[in-house]
Amino acid sequence: MSAEEKQAALRKMEIVKVDASGASGALDDVVEEAEVALFLNGKRLLSFSCLPRDVEDLAAGFLFSEGISPEPASLALRFDPGRLEVHAEGPADEEAAAAFERGQVLGSGCGAGRSGGDGRRRGCMKIDTTTRVSPAAVWKLMKSLAEGSPVFKATGGTHVAGLGDPAGRIVVMTEDIGRHNAVDKVIGHALRTGLQIGGLLLCCSGRISSDIALKAVRGRIPIVVSRSAPTALSVDIASRFMLTLIGFARSGRMNVYSCPERVMTE
């Protein structure tokens, strides 16, 4: 992220700092938040509450990872402040799209995602890959993720997501106020730039919910890593679709919740 992009994501605001010695006025960096309405083929689908940058990647990643539009390369996107128009030249899953046509705002809440039980898993297949990773590479990826998040460092107000290779190199990363948005942005960026994600690791700063697990499964991403915890449902989904889930990945330790054979411990 350039200095200009970082500055556009922040706003200086007057606050009152309070500590044991008393109160004092100060200026603080606060992360920006915008509501962006997404229109698909002329029809309003939903609104995102998001960090107002990389919005095209957010839309492409969201439509792909929710199974609505399986061909991001065929999307024509036009963004104006507060409004993103998407025209899908390929087939769109009308049933999947209908699940979001209630006008809800997605992104800043902890539970953003589609309801509907097994309907969310339509089109998901077991991940068959030879990708393996060492613990050292996992810790290297998570360190790079933490060090490469300037908006979080300035505000503490974002989630971070990245795609990395099994050697421990981050390929692409981004930030957003919502953990689902951050994941959709890195997936969308990869798909829009032709990056093959099937052999990469998805690295996250936030909780691994069932929604995040399913996004990885649809992208054929074999390993998901987070500094935080998975939910029991995400572990169930990961086991069903042969997705490796790694939680609490911090320097020197991590928990492997599913498909541990992809982690080289010897």
Question: Could you tell me if 92 and 41 are in contact, meaning their C-beta atoms sit under 8 angstroms apart?
Answer: yes
Domain enclosing residue 233, as ranges: 135-262
Q: Which residue has the tokens 């998407």?
A: 86
Whether residues 140 and 249 fall in one domain: yes
Q: Identify the residue whose tokens are 């065929």.
A: 74
Give domain status of residue 117, yes or no: no
152: helix, strand or coil: helix
Q: Across all residues in the chain, what is the average pLDDT?
A: 87
| pLDDT at 239 > cutoff 90 | yes
- Nearest CA among 200, 178, 180 for reference residue 191: 200
Q: Does 124 fall in a domain? A: no
Is residue 141 in some structural domain?
yes
pLDDT at res. 93: 64
Tens digit of each residue's pLDDT (9 = 90 or more) over 135-161: 999 999 999 999 988 888 888 889 999
Tell whether 130 is covered by a domain: no
238 lies in the same domain as 156: yes
Residues 229 and 152 in one domain: yes
What residues does 246 pair with on adjacent strands? 225, 256
* First-to-last C-alpha distance (Å) of the chain: 37
Same domain, 143 and 101: no
Whether 110 is a known active-site residue: answer yes
Q: Indicate the pLDDT class of residue 99, thresholds 50, 70 and 90.
A: low
Query: What is the reported pLDDT for 59?
Result: 92
Residue 110: pLDDT band with limits 50, 70, 90: very low
Task: Indicate which residue of 50, 110, 124, 203 is catalytic.
Answer: 110
**Span of 40-44, 71-75, 128-132, 208-212 with lowest mean pLDDT:** 71-75
Residue positions counted in the chain: 266
Q: Report how many domains make up the chain.
A: 2
- Residue 94 confidence (pLDDT): 64
**Same domain for 101 and 203?**
no
Domain boundary among 43, 74, 109: 109
pLDDT given for residue 111 in this prediction: 38
Helix (H, G, I), strand (E, B) or coil at 113: coil
Do 172 and 243 share a structural domain? Answer: yes
User: CATH number for the domain including 62?
Assistant: 3.10.20.10
Q: Convert the pLDDT of each residue in 166-175 to its tens digit.
A: 999 999 999 9
Is 197 part of any domain? yes
Residue tagged 């074999």 (tokens): 222
88 in Cβ contact with 94 (< 8 Å): no
Is 168 part of any domain? yes
pLDDT of residue 260: 96
CATH value at residue 214 = 3.40.140.10
Q: Which residues pair with 182 in a beta bridge?
A: none
Residues 148 and 253 in one domain: yes
Q: pLDDT digits over 176-212, tens only?
A: 999 999 999 999 999 999 999 999 999 999 999 999 9
- Whole-number Cα distances in Å, 1 to 49, 231, 263: 20, 31, 31
Please check whether residues 142 and 217 belong to one and the same domain.
yes
Contact criterion met (CB below 8 Å) for 147 and 75: no
Is the confidence at residue 30, as pLDDT, over 50? yes
- Residue whose entry in the numeric block shows the structure tokens 């399986």: 70
More confident residue, 164 or 68: 164
Task: Evaluate if residue 123 carries a pLDDT over 90.
Answer: no
d(CA 34, CA 48): 8
Q: Could you give the CA distance from residue 114 to residue 110 in angstroms, rounded to a whole number? A: 12
Look at residue 168 in the predicted model and tell me its pLDDT.
Answer: 96
CB 154 within 8 A of CB 80: no
Residues 237-242, mean pLDDT to the nearest whole number: 96
214 and 165 belong to one structural domain: yes
Whether 88 and 172 share a structural domain: no
Contact of 257 with 235, CB cutoff 8 Å: yes
pTM score = 0.88
